[in-house]
Structure 1
Amino acid sequence: MHRADSVRCVGGIVFDADGRLLLVRRAHDPHRGRWSLPGGRVRPGETDAEALVRELREETGLHVAPVTLRGTVPLGRYLISDYTCTVSGGRLCAGDDADDIGWVNSAQFSALATRDALTPDLAETLRTWDALPR
């Protein structure tokens, strides 16, 4: 259930050819300094797909194509719809909403989770969706 004043957002679940997951370290609140999926707010008049393509290009430098809605999660006043995406081009670089970016494998992801360096519930959510890195 979501609040009437929820802010619609999208996130991208992106894997490379080795099964590593793309994460960004948030440069701004909420959760500044923690690692999360790339994404952001859906602008008025935008579809989720349009917002996802725009946000991932701005935040990661990559051109993506949304494939499948994996699920939707509330995070405070934000309602985030996370989609599996494929990369169609671009060059990986952290945008202004991220102070770092990278592909993480299973061991690296687990280490981030152990250090409480991920956004709240990210590890459990991805585990539930069978979307953890290899």
Structure 2
Amino acid sequence: MPDMIEEKICQILAGNSLNDSDEFCDFTLVQQNEDIEAKGIKPKVDSNYVPLCQKTVTYVVAAVLINDNDEVLMIQEAKASCAGKWYLPAGRVEPNENLIEAVKREVLEETGLNMDPISVIMVECASGSWFRFVITGNIISGKLKTPDQADEESLQASWVKNVEDLSLRSPDILPLIQRGRNYKYGQNSPWHSPILPVEWNTEKLLLRLIICIKRKATNRMHILISEKSSLHLPTCEINPNKNLHSTLHKFMVEIFGDGVAQHRPHGLLSIEFSGKQAGDGLCFTTLISFRPPLEEVPIKGKYVWHELNQNVADLITTRLPRNMTIQLNVVR
């Protein structure tokens, strides 16, 4: 069975969907609410919460597109609340739409251009029910929208060298643009290879963990496996009323106890997203590494450390440096 876990890790690193995470959830909303109620606090989210696009969960896509002249594709807003301001092509994902379809649609509607998505370069979340997926790629066809083509989607689109000189709808896009430039030009390398969301049918918001650590005695890498049902990677349900850091911390405490040893969340290795008839859920696979050796990190509950085959350990090691995973930015 551990060999199957290693095979699944390789699938994740290759950008493939596991399509089984909803069967194995170690820390559900029911359990999280029970912990809250035990402290005499009434939970703010229903244990039976279901993510419904544009109703109980909000997914936003934003495109960072940079041409060979180092110009960024920008749009002038038509919405009454921000008319005339400039922003990246962006918008909400619609029901029964996946993330790739959504970003291509938004770019076409707002700029008149057709986009070929290459990779997600950042995911932002303001809570467990609001997510923005920042995607970069290339323009492959179309004609740039001009002012005489203004509509409810945008007033016009333009390639802009110095975005800071524009009257922006919000400066929150400046870090996204800088990250897009860094990715395009390989600044602060190495960088992760292209990672795009893969389709997967689920009605939950899930966080799957690849937790790695080295044994001091052998210097061999191990990963954590849950034994709560069939052996699987530790997985918890994202609380839609909490930020993702809070959900992750509570899950780590559930596994390792209150005094969790020093560890580092590196970022996302994969994004599995539904967006079809079977639900509007998703699953983030997050890479976490411990600084102390295995001998100094006790486990609470039905989890075990598994020593990895050296080839798989090497694959994980290559993803530990900065920028080798998708940045997860929790907006407070």
TM range (shorter): 0.7 to 0.9
Q: 2:89 matched to 1:35?
A: no
TM-score (norm 1): 0.76
Q: Which has the larger radius of gyration?
A: 2
TM-score (norm 2): 0.34
Contact 2:62 2:135 (C-alpha < 8 Å) held by counterparts: yes
Structure 2 partner of 1:54: 105
**CA displacement 1:1-38 (0-9 Å, x = unmatched):** xxx73411111111122110001121116644321110
Contact 1:31 1:119 (C-alpha < 8 Å) held by counterparts: no
Contact 1:64 1:88 (C-alpha < 8 Å) held by counterparts: yes
Q: 2:181 matched to 1:131?
A: yes
Structure 2 partner of 1:109: 163
Contact 1:15 1:22 (C-alpha < 8 Å) held by counterparts: yes
Question: Structure 1: 5+ residue runs without aligned partners?
Answer: none
**1:42-81 matched pairs, under 5 angstroms:** 42-74=93-125, 79-81=131-133
- Aligned with residue 23 of structure 1, among 53, 57, 74: 74
Residues 97 and 80 of structure 1, relative CA distance in 2, 3 Å threshold: same
Q: More relative contact order in 1 or in 2 (CA 8 Å, sep 6+)? A: 1
CA distance, structure 1, for counterparts of residue 176 and residue 114 of structure 2: 25
Contact 1:10 1:40 (C-alpha < 8 Å) held by counterparts: yes
Report runs of 4+ in structure 1 exceeding 6 Å deviation. none
What is the RMSD computed on CA atoms of the aligned residues?
Answer: 2.8
SS in 1 for 2:181: coil
Question: Structure 2: 5+ residue runs without aligned partners?
Answer: 1-50, 186-332
Amino acid at match of 1:99: L
Contact 1:25 1:99 (C-alpha < 8 Å) held by counterparts: yes
- Report the number of matched residues: 125
SS in 2 for 1:121: helix
Contact 2:79 2:152 (C-alpha < 8 Å) held by counterparts: no
CA distance, structure 2, for counterparts of residue 78 and residue 32 of structure 1: 24
Structure 1 partner of 2:142: 90
The structure that is strand-richer by fraction is 1
SS in 2 for 1:98: coil
CA distance, structure 1, for counterparts of residue 100 and residue 170 of structure 2: 23
Identity across matched positions, percent: 24
- Once the two structures are TM-superposed, the CA of residue 124 in structure 1 deviates from its matched residue by 3.0
Amino acid at match of 2:145: C
Structure 1 partner of 2:317: none
